[in-house]
Amino acid sequence: MIYYVEDDTNIRDLTIYALKQGGFEACGFENAADFYAAVRRQTPELVLLDIMLPEVDGLEILRQLRADPATKHVPIMMLTAKGTEYDTVCGLDAGADDYLAKPFGMMELVSRVNALLRRAGKPAACLQDTITCGVISLSVSAHSVTAGGVPVTLTLKEFDLLKALMRHEGQVLSRDQLLEDVWGVTYAGGTRTVDVHVQTLRQKLSNACEGADSCITTVRGVGYSIKVPQADA
């Protein structure tokens, strides 16, 4: 999972879209408070930071990440309109691993992200191509899903929803979290959209292989989780 802190909605959404098109899981935040809350839920595999942010700027976020044992080794890239030598040095001295000045090309960004993850020794979960959970198997590159060896035809959002759940097997993902990860931060359809898609996803998995839908569990009042069902003792 890649986190991007940027208060400009257009830049943030475009960057998140480019990262997802590049095969990454990515999530954007407009301020430090929302970002810190997400980090407490899940430690990212890479962080992209803008410098000029409201309230808490990117350099301060960088310093706090480096001071925290849980995030001190997370690769961090600064993405900012400030491109002077002084600002570059400040970011790198504070612990940034790379620096890219705006405006930047999306292909270059994806390439830099790949390079950072390789240098960090993390062919991370976001780069994993084939994911399995019980009888369910998902291929990211082939954009295909099977249940018990039987192909399952999914819509784009159903596929992305299943991928998000399988990437975090055993973890409970809230409806808001799924809505943000799959539909994007600007989607205004409401969390009921998640429930409807989970329902149709379960039905399609069950049609392909009886019982395959039991991997997806509802955590009442919170959201959804996917895990291999335990066999009866």
Cα–Cα distance, 16 to 181 (Å, whole number): 10
Window from 9-18, 35-44, 188-197 with minimum mean pLDDT:
188-197
Task: State yes or no: pLDDT of 201 exceeds 90.
Answer: yes
CB-CB contact of 137 with 145 (8 Å): yes
Dihedral Cα 88, 91, 92, 93, nearest 10 deg: 120
pLDDT category, 91, cuts 50, 70, 90?
low
pLDDT category, 208, cuts 50, 70, 90?
very high
pLDDT category, 233, cuts 50, 70, 90?
very low
Bridge partners, 136 (sequence order): 133, 147
Window from 25-29, 44-48, 138-142 with minimum mean pLDDT:
138-142
Q: How confident is the model at residue 114, as a pLDDT?
A: 83
Give the model confidence (pLDDT) of 120-169 as tens digits. Answer: 765 444 456 788 888 999 998 788 999 999 999 998 889 989 988 988 88
Higher pLDDT among residues 217 and 42, named by residue: 217
Note if the pTM is more than 0.75: no
Q: How far is CA 155 from the centre of its chain?
A: 19
Q: How confident is the model at residue 2, as a pLDDT?
A: 92
Cα–Cα distance, 144 to 11 (Å, whole number): 30
Task: State yes or no: pLDDT of 87 exceeds 80.
Answer: no
pLDDT category, 79, cuts 50, 70, 90?
confident
Bridge partners, 152 (sequence order): 145
Q: How confident is the model at residue 88, as a pLDDT?
A: 63
Q: How confident is the model at residue 187, as a pLDDT?
A: 53
